[in-house]
Amino acid sequence: MKKRYIYQFLLVCISSCFLACNGYLEEIPQNKQKLTSTDDYEQLLNKAYLTEAVLPYIDLLTDDISYIAADRDPRYGNVADSYLGAYMWDNNIESTMPNGDEVFGKFYNSIYYTNVVIDEIDQAVGISSNKEETERIRGYLKGEAYALRAFRYLYLVNMYAPPYDPATSSTTPGIPINLETSADDKPYTREMLDKVYGQIVDDLKKAIPLMEENYVSVKKNRFSPIAAKALLARVYLYMQEWDLAIEQAENVIGSNSSLFDLRDEGENPVIYNDNPLSYMSEDNVPGIGYLSEKNTNVLFVNGINELYMILGGNTAQSVFYPSEDLYRAYSAGDVRKYYFMRRNTRSRIRYLKNRYYRVVTINFVDQLSSEYGYTRVMRTEEMYLILAEAYAHKPNGISTAVGYLNTLREMKFRVSDFETNGKLKPEDFSQETLLETVWKERRLEFCFEEQRWFDLRRTTRPSLTHQGLVADPAVLKENDLRYVLQIPQKELSVNPEIGANPR
């Protein structure tokens, strides 16, 4: 049988525990034997946010990224090799990852931290003598922990379980739910999809009032009430609860309707062109980070920019690039095409979405780094597209859906091109063609933000083709079982009751 890759990496040895994190007390400040103060719990919750690269491969599963074997330099240890298993949709995508697929374990570890905060924060002592202030901080941290737990479970269920279908959710296995803080060595089995999503919704419904009633101003790398509402709108969209999705998304936009406006950049001839770049600078690539937490439309950012692992400019680091298919999908006059990507002198498409402010000046480099923006982001644009998709599913909802699409698109097009190439007309659509347009718009807007794979799964699960190092391409067939990722082997080894996903 022909080997697909030049190198294969060994899987990591079996881990010693699953779900419970016995060592979490080691994470709190020194000389503390147990969590006592609200500050201790806040630090533990900060650990749960996981500011490290754990999911750099998810966009490789999609049609938004291509592998160019000709750019691979065998003199170097290419980081790209680590992710070929994911790019080629191996039955086990971790086959080429030196440490295996770490998402499952690290996200459940994060969930364990949130469980500790939820269960124990009510007994925490304040760092000041103000009892009301202490109670307020307790309430907010508890709500924040509920929101983060929901965020983690939504990712896990959309990676390691089938997409949600209301007709079959009560009989379709999902993922394990662990709400405990004990370190008991016991098996964990899967809950049905309806129960997993029910847990996510319940957590968010608890999170929102707790954070609103005990409001604390936090940075955007932590959950706020509006970010939790935006997440709930996303959950309802995935559940095909159109009316509830509309209610939540409208609620968010009612509080923050801002969109990232590209119209002025569209008038700048420097950015709006196809000239290849030999280097990046403020002069030839003007603008600021599209996903920066400084932007008013950005509601929540999580982790670090993991794209540097796959889209870095160093030859020794990557031979992955934004795909030609994605690059050509933008209409004439759509400024996003040039704000997100530009060709270099080798005619390779380079990623630019995370151009980023540092201190006072704009700092451009040819290589991405983990310090340049984020890849997990929630922003108001998503609410407009949730509204468009939800209304597209409703009787007589086409006009309203198109209205939301146009509100968003007008901000992303050069003014002179919007009327001719950007503005959509309700009479041009059926329900089916409108949905296809909404899904395409999501692709254009959310590229490289870890949303495309989830959208492919929950909509059409189309056939995709990827070319790797060998002549034979990899094919992900329509409705392929590999649209559900395999449970990592180290987790199955210590907890076989979970059961492997079918192949």
Q: What is the CATH number of the domain that holds 419?
A: 1.25.40.900
In a domain, 20, yes or no: no
Q: Which residues contact 286 (CB under 8 A, 6 or more apart)?
A: 265, 268, 270, 271
Residue 158 contacts residue 55 (beta carbons within 8 Å): no
pLDDT tens-digit map of 251-268:
999 999 999 999 999 999
Q: How far apart are CA 250 and CA 85, in angstroms?
A: 40
Phi and psi at residue 379, in whole multiples of 5°?
Answer: -150, 170
The per-residue pLDDT for 286 is 80
Phi and psi at residue 129, in whole multiples of 5°?
Answer: -85, 0
The per-residue pLDDT for 323 is 97
In a domain, 213, yes or no: no
Q: How far apart are CA 323 and CA 63, in angstroms?
A: 7
Confidence of residue 22 (pLDDT cuts 50, 70, 90): very low
The per-residue pLDDT for 27 is 39
In a domain, 82, yes or no: yes
Residue 79 contacts residue 309 (beta carbons within 8 Å): yes
Confidence of residue 364 (pLDDT cuts 50, 70, 90): very low
In a domain, 48, yes or no: no
Category of 287 on φ-ψ map: left (φ > 0), alpha (ψ -120 to 50) or beta: left
Question: What is the 8-class DSSP label of residue 29?
Answer: P
Residue 277 contacts residue 364 (beta carbons within 8 Å): no
Confidence of residue 183 (pLDDT cuts 50, 70, 90): low
In a domain, 491, yes or no: no
Confidence of residue 9 (pLDDT cuts 50, 70, 90): very low
In a domain, 172, yes or no: no
Q: Which domain holds residue 373?
A: 55-92+256-480
The per-residue pLDDT for 108 is 96
Q: How far apart are CA 437 and CA 44, in angstroms?
A: 43
The per-residue pLDDT for 356 is 53
Please give the average per-residue pLDDT across 109-119, as a whole number.
97
In a domain, 148, yes or no: no
Give the CA-trace dihedral at 218, 143, 102, 369, to 10 degrees.
Answer: -10
The per-residue pLDDT for 368 is 58
In a domain, 32, yes or no: no
Any idea what the Cα angle at residue 384 is, between residues 154 and 175, rounded to 5°? 10
Confidence of residue 12 (pLDDT cuts 50, 70, 90): very low
Please give the average per-residue pLDDT across 16-37, as a whole number.
48
- Please give the helix or strand (H or E) that residue 342 lies within, else none: strand 341-343
Q: Which residues contact 131 (CB under 8 A, 6 or more apart)?
A: none
| Range from 337-351, 364-378, 436-450 carrying the lowest mean pLDDT | 364-378
Tokens 């379709």 label which residue? 172
Q: How many residues does the chain have?
A: 503
Q: Total structural domains in the chain? A: 1
pLDDT tens-digit map of 185-217:
678 899 999 999 999 999 999 999 999 999 999
pLDDT tens-digit map of 262-305:
999 999 988 887 788 877 777 778 888 899 999 999 999 998 88
With a cut of 50, say whether residue 25 has pLDDT above it.
no
With a cut of 70, say whether residue 316 has pLDDT above it.
no
